[in-house]
Structure formats: structure tokens, C-alpha cells
Amino acid sequence: MSQAPLFSSAGELANLVVTSNLIDVAWANIPEIQRGPAAIPCSVQPMVYLPTRNRTIVVFASSTNFTQYPLPEVGDLVQSSLFQFLCPKECPSVSINGAALVLFKSLESQLYGLKTKLSEREGQLIITGHSLGGSVAALFTLYLLDSMDKKRKCRPICITFGSPLIGDFDLQHSQWNSFFLHVVSNKDPVPGLFLPSSRSPPTSSHSQTSVYKPFGTYLLCSEHGCACFDDPDLILKILTVASSEVSGEVQVVDYGEILRNLKNSAICKERWQVGFADPFSDGIVMELKTIGIDPAKHNIDISGMEKAARSLTKKTKASEAKKLNDRKKTMAQLEWYKKKAEDEKKGYYDCFRNEDQTRHVKVQELMAELTTYWEDMVAEAERKPQKEGTSFRTGWLFAGTTYRRIVEPLDIADFYKDGGRDYINSKRSQHYKLLEQWYKEAPKPPTREDLDSKKKKVSVLLTEDSCFWAHVEEAILSCQSLTNANSTTPEQRESSWDNLVMFGEYVMKQIENCAVSPEIFLSGSSFMTWWGEYKAYIDNFRNFFSSRLVEYMKRGSYNQYG
Amino acid sequence: MGETVGKLIGLNDEVIIPTASLAMEAHNSPSKPFLMKKIKIRHDHLSVVVLAFRGSMLPNDWFGQPPFGERKFRSLTSLNDGGDAVINGSFFQRFNTVLDQSSLVKEVKKAIAKEKQVIFSGYSSAGPIAILATLYFLENPEPNQILPPRCLTFGSPLFGDRIFGHALRREGWSDYFTHFVMKYDIIPRIMLSPSSTEHEQILNYFKSKFDGKNINPALPSGFYLTVMGNASSVASYEACHLMGCRNPSLDIIKSFIELSPYRPSGTYVFCTGNGNLVVVKNPNAVLQILIHCAELGESDTAEVEKRSLDEHSAYLSELKECLGIQAVVSLNGGPATATWNDLGLSPKAMLCLQSAEEFENGRSRNQDQIRKNKGKIEVELGKMRKYKENSEIRRVGYYDSFKLQNEDDDFHANVSRLELAGIWDEIEEMLKEFEVPDDFERKKEFIDIGTEYRRLVEPLDIANFYRHSKDKETGAYMIISKARPDRYLFIQRWLEHHEKKPFGSLSESCFWGEVEQLCIDIKKRGYLQQIEERIQQVERNLIAWIGDRSLDDDVLLENSTFVKWWRHLPPQHKSESDRIEKLIGERESCWSINQIRTGIIWHCDRTVT
């Protein structure tokens, strides 16, 4: 089947923004403040407007004076712990433009109060600002997003006009990206100010400036029209081209005038003549030319963009649901494997560990499929800002926990079968660790199951600690080190004994909490093997030793478990 | 080329001019709510009766009532959770007045009885009245009606939202509505912009012009930019969807702006102004053309603004000219056709049209894909049927067997259940996003396979639900709660719509859910009066559904969850003991006879008293 043609909707999205009154509303109060007495040189003040009951507008205005000279010497990036929450776990730090950060910090206590007040408002929240005021508006929006919970009453959007780039962080994998709209004219030098090829005078740490990253959607405009893009690399390129072509004199760009012109030209026929060979490339060439970029001259890789757009299969709810459903099918198969093993009076752990592997090729395929899926899910959650990652994963954490409890024992079996030692510290995969950590952090339902009802259901429970079998394997190794007195030192034997005592306590706690599956007591299980060896050792060498587990096992109480 | 408008819209060409002229006449006739006229057609035995409605240019008759979700017409709703169609409240109110206070219904019935085809027509604000009248007789057809009623409007404002158009296309009625629109006429575009002072300006202008009191009223000005700017927002928003916009900001931006809910529906005939007519059926393409063909070109705003008012009164003369030369284009040849130039569309507009066409192609492709998947569904359903038979041989209903999950068969059934859930969830998501053709939910092939799936597999979902005591997390399985998967709810609605039954009435596949929930509720709360009523409802439903075979009789197996529960109920809470015992008895004897005869279970004929 031939591929369905792609389209570029950059022009249509821009047209929607320009013809709607959203952007006028965002701009409306800025000129007035900049002219008015409230304008304090070299600072930014937030002003709150409540035009209707369910709309709040916060304007970060700066004096015109300040707009004209946005302090190029503070184009440096400064590491900021205040915005540390922006970085996903895998990246160590976040740097923010120095000027914007200084302004933000000077307002911090005021903004804290504003944040609290805004969190009680319902409806639409528009946060806006011009030039460096826009930078502060964006920082404030991020600050606000981090403190909002998922069921927030008000929806924010941040609209900046001619603002310079803010920092080195990347929101491409975050939903937060969609809350930002940056309006930039190709006549405005400010947005490209901190870019390396910009004609602005070199700053003290010029090499550093190249790590600025755009985020959100850019509404790029020229006298011919406008287009919306959200690909950071493309935006960087366009900003660089635009700032290198801005005429020598720095002039104040009147965004009000630009918006009026764009509105008028929105219902005019545009002048570009294009062919219709390929709707995507024709469309995007037209859109780029509209905003004053010649793709051929500026070396913009259109076919690369098309490839990227095509590979970026839109994540639909349908496809996500289908994927999770497919994993459920795989899990059902593994659960059945587990049940069959129990029917044969063997635990699935030992079936998998001790029997001929050719029987288990299918199981290994299932494991591999699940592991790939969950590693991806965990990685995706890790790429988001911390707060957002948390809410993203609550949706599937339950399924992830079941996965961990069923599949990790099989990984452990593989590891010890091949003679491995110390699984938990030397081999355990990161995604298991995170899944476990998140499960522990996740809020539990208020009505916790009482132990009695849990006892009744224990036969269908999964062992809660997915590393249980690793502890068992270590205990077996400890037993062996005790019995093979010839090949071990007294110190080693001492520490082995300590381990075994600790293991006994651990197991007893699991049993009392009904946290282990009764399958561990099946006669052929590794746990029972361990018990046999352990009992023999105690009987021979430590006749007087006893512990709660030893008594429990000797009495045969486990027959009543489950 | 070569085709006439009449052929493309399925009417004789000769009716168009007389209909248009009656519509213009009726619009300004203050004494009567509608005019009627017989039209004789050469070489055709069938005669046609045209009814044209009176209009009104009072702003209150256009915008007095807010748009609202319609319930008077049962077809005007989406069968997935898209809700009811939103229509203009003011026009709806005017139609109701005509319906209640005039001889409309009587006259139409008379005409149909004489084997005449009825055409409802309306010019300008009478257009929506004609649409509603047509809809009324489509929903309530006369028994001896030969041809469906038709609707022709001229310069009509938009009347309904996306669901309205979707519902018309789903019912297969879309082709019965034809709307003629001049290239610059402002009225067909006016509803794409929210009500404002500009609207009043425009309507007041026409009002004084039509009243005849002032033949040349002062031209309003400045409205064109506002109305077309807002209309352009709507067109761009829809174009983003058609083009598969991947920018997540779109949804956020949309939530901050108010877009008109109105969208075109039916067939549009655009009069290009140079003697050509363009017939377009794709609703997304119609919307784009409405906006883009009226864009400002070389000429200045004031000129176009004046034209946008003048053209509203020019239908009759324009049509006389066009129909004389019979040059017609239909949008099936794709946007590259040179004749598109007649509409003066820009390259950007052409891209929009291309995306509208591709969107339609995509919907057909999705339907083809679902058709292909039907094979897979059949295979899984076959396995399920086999599973059900095998369980019955063991004298356990498959519901109870599945709940126990002890046999290999139960496991395989679970895999099939998940497989099927995946396929149907995907279909459900496509329906929610309107990614399949509009008439998908009315296609017999899909209703049939869906219903079979629902009746056979939903009991297993319920078994799984109560096996894992999920009611503690989400509440009861039944319809009101969110526990029941949407896929079953949708499929049930298809059938209810098909059989013209009220929504929620064919819930036989949830029978087990109510039984399980009653078990739990009785344990928790005892026999309250409300519970007693529910028990009796279950009993009545059982008898009715076993009777019409929508519920399988394996619920009546001696040791099924239902029979065990029902037999333990204290007699004073039951009301149909005799009949249900009889059904259980019949099921038993039936089973034994078949057991002796063939050794296997087979469906047997059973009379229900």
C-alpha cells in the first residue's frame, strides 16, 4: 500500500492563533504598562487583570527602556537549583539565562504569593510578557506548572512576545511544552540575542551560549505572514538566520502593529505559487518562504523533516491502548505458565531455573517482549520533568508492579543458574529498581486490606518482593559456604551465618505479612532445598540454635499457609 | 464535465429554477408561513410539490436562542459518546411554530398520498426551516411514500454542528439536502462567527431592503474582516485536524478560544459568478471552500464587502444564467482540476482541499482495515463458541468455568478475550475520533458481528471483573459506572439504534453483571425494597431475553451462579418463580434428551409460555 501523503499544518495553526482573539488579549495590556507610570526602569513587574469571571491575565511588563537594551552581558547561563525540577532524572543540572533569573529571584516572594492566589482561581490563565518580561513570564509559568496538581482547576498558557531564549533545558518529551507560545518577528533582534552567530557583541562566556534550547511553539512572523513550528532545531536555525539578517539598527518592534497586519492578511489570498507534487514539502516550503526563510539558501533539510514527521507516528490513544492490551495478553500467558507449574507441584521459579531450557524458549520470548516494553515506559517517564513523570506513571504502575513480580524472578533464575552471585547489587536492572521505588512512593488507597482478607486470598497472591528468590539463592550459597568448611575462611563462615540469621528474619516477616506466595513451600522449590540444607547444618553443628522461622518450618506450620 | 446539476443532486433540472423562485417569493410573504406550488416536468410522469417557507431578518429570529443539544429528532445524536447534535435554537423554535400552528403536516400528507415528490425549500433564513421540515418527514415517513422528501436551500445560514452533519450522513440522508451558495454571499458564512454587532448590522440592512421600505439602505461596513476572520479561525482549526497536526499546543490553544460550533452538511452547489456551478459533497471541503473562495484578492475590502451583500439577493438571476449553459464540476476529480480556478482558490486553499480528500480516503482505508480484521474476529469468536460448548458438556456454564480459571480452556478463552478486546478497543477509539466513514455504525455487517461479540464475550469480562473483585475499586459493573468497557456500550447502541429501541434497553449482555452485583448488595444491605425491585427486574428480563433468544440459556444450567443464587432467594422476594423454574426444568430435560440422542449438547427448540 502506498503511503498516505503528509501535510504540514504550520501555516494553518499560525492562522488559527492570529485570527482568534487569544493573542490580542495577551498583547492588549502590554503597551499601556510600558508607557504608563508603572514602568520602572530595569525591572519587571507582574500585573494581574481579571477581565471576566473565568479568565485571569498576568502580564510581566518591563519599561520600554529596558526592552530596548536587554543587557546583553547577562546572556550567560547560570546553574539554578530553583529550576532543578525541570530536568529529567538523567540530566544533572539546569541552567537559566542570568538576566531572567536575576529578575525572577528579585520577585520571588511576590511571585510565591501570586502563585498561591492563582491556584485558587478557576478557568483560563494567560501569562504573558514582552522581551525579558516574557522570559520571566515563562519562568513563572514553569514554577506554577510544577506546583499544580493534575486536577488543577485553571488552565495556563504562556504567551511571550519577542523574548530571548531562556535556558538549556529541553521539554520536548513533556506535555508542558504545549503550554508555551512564543511570538517572534523576523525584524526583532532580541529573540536571537544569545545565539552564537548573532551579531550581538560577544559576551564573556560566548562558547557557553550555544547550549540555549528553545521550547514550546514559536509563532514566527514576517510582513508576508506567519507559521507555527515546534521543532527546536528548526526554530534555532530560523532564529539564527533572522538575527543575522536584522538590519544594523536595533529598533523597537511593535508587535501590536504586526498582529493587526497578520489579521488582515489572514483573509487575503497569499501570493506564493507552488506546485502540487508533494503536499508536505510544497506546504512547508511555502510556509518557510512566508516567514522569510529560503530553504534552499539556508540549507534546510526538507526531506529530513518529512522523514521525521512520518516516523513520528502520532501517539494516539488507540495505539497506546492497543500496546498495553497486547502486554496484558503476554502477561496472561506468563500467569498461565506459572499456574501450570504449580499444578505440577513445582514453583515456576524452579521450573524455569532447573529444567531444560529448550522447553522455555517461549517463556523467554514473552519475557523479552515485556522487558522491552517496560524499559521503554520507564525511560519515557524518566525523561519528563519530575512532577509530570510521577503523574504519567501512576496510570500504569499497577500493571508495572505485576510485571515486576512475575518477570523479575525469572531474570534471577537465569542469573543464578549461570553461576552469578549477588544479583541485587551486581545485576539488577535499573527499570526494576525504579518500578519498585515508584511503587513504594505511590499513594496507597486509604482502605488498606486487612490481614484477614489477605490471608483468604493468599493462594492467588504474587510474592510481593520481586527479589525474594535472589535472597533465597544467596541463602543457599551461604549454606554451602558453611558446609564446605575446607574452602572457606572462618570470617567468611561467620558472615555467612549472619546472613542466614538475617534471611530467616526476613522470610518470617514475609510470611507473617502474607507477602509470599505459598508456592515457595512446594516440595521441589529452591526455598525448600535451602531449608533442607540449613536444617541439616543446624542439626549437625548448631543444635541449640533456634529462630522463629526454624520453629515455624519444623512444626510444619507452612502446610496451613494459604 | 457534461453532467448537469440535477443529475449530480438527483433531481430533474427543471425543478431548480421554479423552486428557487418560489423560495424567494415565500421569504417575503408576510401573510403565510409557507407557499406551495405544483411543478410539472416534461417527459416525466412524476409530479413535484414544492413547499417554500417564510423567512425573517429579525436578529432575534437568528440569535435569540443559544445553540443547544437536540432531542426532538432521535436520529440527531452520535452513537458513540459524541453527544447530541447542536442546532440553532431560534430557527428550531420557528420551525416548531410552523409545525404546530399551520397546515404543513396535513398538506404534505395529502401531497404524498397523491404520489407526488415533496421538495422543501427556503431562501436565506427560511433555509433552516426547510431543513427541519425535511428531517421531520425523513424521520416520520408516510407509509405510501415513493420518494424521500428533498430539501433545496438558497443562501441559507449554517444550522447544525459536526454531529448534526455526521448524523445525517450516518442515516444516509445527506444527499437529500442541497444548498446553493454564491461565491461571496455573507449569509452562509455568518454563523461561523459568534453573534455580534456586525451581525445585527448585516441583518438590519437586509431587513430594510426586503421590507421594501428602503430599497437602497445605507451599506454597513467593516463587518467583512470580523466575520471572515472568525470564519477563518474555524477553517484553520479544521484544517489542522485534516492535516494531522502533530503540535500538542493545538489542543491547549483551542481550549482558550471560542470557535463557532456550526459546520456545513449536505451537498453544496457553489455559484462561481462566471456561469459555472461546482457541486461538492465532502463536508470538510465545503467548509474550506466557503472560507477560501471568499478571500480578498486584488480587489479592495470595500468592494468585496459590497459584493458579499449584493450576492445574497442574486440567486435567481445567477441560477438562470448557470443552468442555461450547464457547465458543472463535481468534486470527485481531485483538487488539481483546472476548473477549480473558477472559485479562485489559492495554493494554500488547494492544500486544504487535498487534505480534506485525503482525510476521507483515510477513513475508507480504516474501514477496509476493520473489514480485514473481521476474519480475525470470526476466528476468535469461533474459539469462544467452542469453549462455550465444551463447558456445557461438562455441565458448567462457560461463565462459571471462566470465573474459576481452572482448565486449559479457560486460559485460552482468556487470551481470546484479550485479543478481541484489543481489536474492538481500537475500533472504538476510531469511532470516537470520527476516523471511519459516518455510516459505519449503521452497517449491518458490523452491527451483527458486534452484537455476537457482545453477547458471547461480555459475560467473560464480567466474570473476570467479579473474579478479581474489581467492584471494590470502581463500583458495580453496570452501565452507570465507568467499569463497563465503552466498546460494549457502543455496540449495544448500534443495535438499539438499528431496532429503534430506547438507549439502554438491550442490555442482555450485562445480565451476569446485575446478578453478581445483587449477590453482593444483598450480602451487604439485606432485602431492601429497592433490591426487591431489582430482583424482579432481573426475573422479568430473564424471561424476556430467553424468550427472544438474546440471552443464552446456559444461565439456566442447574449449578450456574444464577440458578444457585436465585434458588436461595427467599420466596417472598421473587415474583416469577413458576415461570423461571419451568425454564430451568425445560433446559434440563432438553439437555438430557439431546445427551441421549446425540451425545453432545445442541441448541434445541424450546417454547416459552
Cα–Cα dist B568/A552, whole Å: 42
Closest partner residue to A322 (CB to CB) among B247, B256, B422 is: B422
Cβ–Cβ < 8 Å for A23, B260: no
Angle between helices A255-266 and A10-19 (to 10 degrees): 110
Q: Which grid coordinates belong to A177?
A: 511544552
Three-state DSSP state, B247: coil
Angle between helices B486-498 and B444-467 (to 10 degrees): 140
Cβ–Cβ < 8 Å for A442, A394: yes
Whether residues A267 and B411 touch (CB distance < 8 A) is answered with: no
Which portions of chain B are predicted below pLDDT 70? 1-2, 215, 324-340, 472-474, 479-482, 591-609
Max CA distance (Å), chain B: 94
Q: How far is CA B180 from CA B5, B149, B272, B357, in A?
A: 11, 18, 11, 21
Within an 8 Å CB–CB cutoff, is residue B229 touching chain A?
Answer: yes
Q: Is the pTM of this model over 0.90?
A: no
In chain B, the N- to C-terminal Cα span, in Å, equals 64
Query: Chain A residues with CB inside 8 Å of B419's CB?
Result: 329
Three-state DSSP state, A327: helix
Residue that has been written with the C-alpha cell 485460552 in this structure: B412
CA distance A219 to chain B (A): 11
pLDDT of residue A452: 61
- List, in sequence order, the alpha helices (H) in A344-429: 348-354, 361-383, 386-417, 423-426
pLDDT of residue B105: 93
The distance of Cα A443 from the centroid of its chain, to the nearest Å, equals: 19
Within an 8 Å CB–CB cutoff, is residue B433 touching chain A?
Answer: yes
**pLDDT, averaged in runs of 10, over chain A (562 residues):** 75 93 90 68 78 89 58 67 72 79 86 86 90 91 80 80 87 84 91 66 45 91 91 90 72 87 84 70 88 86 84 64 83 87 84 78 90 89 74 75 92 91 92 90 60 64 90 93 82 89 94 88 89 90 86 88 76
Contacts 24+ apart (CB under 8 A), A336-340: A336/B411, A336/B414, A337/A363, A337/A366, A338/A406, A339/B405, A339/B411
Query: Chain B residues with CB inside 8 Å of A179's CB?
Result: 249, 252
Q: Which of B193, B247, B288 to mutate to test the interface with A (most CBs of A within 10 A)?
A: B247
Q: Which grid coordinates belong to B298?
A: 486584488
φ and ψ at residue A60, rounded to 5 degrees: -100, 95
Whether residues A309 and B246 touch (CB distance < 8 A) is answered with: yes
Closest partner residue to B347 (CB to CB) among A7, A178, A274 is: A274
Whether residues A9 and B249 touch (CB distance < 8 A) is answered with: no
Closest partner residue to A12 (CB to CB) among B243, B354, B414 is: B243
In chain A, the N- to C-terminal Cα span, in Å, equals 56
Minimum Cα–Cα distance from A266: chain B residue: B229
Cα–Cα dist B26/B21, whole Å: 9
Cα–Cα dist A515/A468, whole Å: 10
Helix (H) or strand (E) holding A46: strand A44-52
Q: Which of residues 469-498 of B touch A (CB under 8 A)?
A: 473
Whether residues A155 and B256 touch (CB distance < 8 A) is answered with: yes
Predicted confidence (pLDDT) per residue in B306-357, tens digit: 999 999 999 999 998 887 666 566 655 454 455 567 788 888 888 898 899 9
φ and ψ at residue B118, rounded to 5 degrees: -105, 130
Within an 8 Å CB–CB cutoff, is residue B242 touching chain A?
Answer: yes
Helix (H) or strand (E) holding A155: strand A154-161
State what percent of residues in chain A have pLDDT above 90: 27
Whether residues B253 and A316 touch (CB distance < 8 A) is answered with: no
Closest partner residue to A16 (CB to CB) among B233, B292, B358 is: B233
Q: Which of A3, A8, A13, A323 to mutate to test the interface with B (most CBs of B within 10 A)?
A: A13
Max CA distance (Å), chain A: 97
Cβ–Cβ < 8 Å for A47, A181: no
Q: Which grid coordinates belong to B91?
A: 430557527
Query: Chain A residues with CB inside 8 Å of B334's CB?
Result: none
